[in-house]
Amino acid sequence: MTGPAGPGAALEQGTRNAARIAALDAAVASLAATLAELGTAVDAIQGTITDQDDVLRTVDGLKDTVDELLHRVGALFPDGDTGGAFYAPIPAPRFWQLHGPGREEAISRLRSWVRDVYQPAFGHLAAELPACWEQHTFCLTVLDVASELHAVLYLQATRNQGLLAGQAELLTRLMPALAALMAAEAARCPHAQPHARPGANGGRRPGDRGGALPAVTPGPDGRG
């Protein structure tokens, strides 16, 4: 049997066809939107790839920089020994303000430097160091500067012409001047006097024998 014929059947068929066309239009619109989103994603991926190319070029440049740094380190440590000492600045001790444990800690550092570096390396200059240097703020300040100068110039794995010139300046001009300053500071201090001052303790002078000096009667001109 065939379906119903006539105008009613044709109208019903047209309605079904219109619904199908509308559904097809919706499907096409959805597909177009999906394709647009896909195009946007492709553009984003392309941009990411371009960015990655830039990153890779940067990484290549970074590798060159690392290679240069390794070359410089190799020049500093030709034997591969990276345990060498380098100069590391320390806070300047304010000896005029330091008291108690803080002062003793700063003095202990200088005491080690005097024992291990200054006395072995600087010969007759170190021999001029007053025995009472630890009791003189001025001497402590000078030794702090001297120790830091020495560290700057000698705690390096290699040296260039400028560093060599600085070492010569330290040995020939700066260290002698600093040693003379410390010796002058302590020359007349009470710690450095092995004997009583002239006229003290009953008028005894260094080298006098025991006993008081005999009384002297001034002459007409005021001299004894």
Interval 64-119: pLDDT, tens? 676 666 555 555 544 444 455 567 778 888 988 888 999 999 999 999 999 999 99
More confident of the two residues 224 and 60: 60
Q: How far apart are CA 11 and CA 17, in angstroms?
A: 10
Give whole-number Cα distances, 98 to 16, 93, 155, 191, in Å. 101, 8, 27, 21
User: What is the pTM assigned to this prediction?
Assistant: 0.50
Q: What is the mean pLDDT of residues 179-208?
A: 61
Q: What is the mean pLDDT of residues 198-204?
A: 40
- Residue 1 predicted with pLDDT over 80: no
Residues 6+ apart with CB under 8 A from 92: 144
- Residue 202 predicted with pLDDT over 50: no
Least confident of 9-13, 21-25, 184-188: 9-13
Q: What is the mean pLDDT of residues 40-60?
A: 69
Confidence band, pLDDT 50/70/90 cuts, at residue 205: very low
More confident of the two residues 186 and 110: 110
Most confident of the following: 34-43, 68-77, 119-128: 119-128
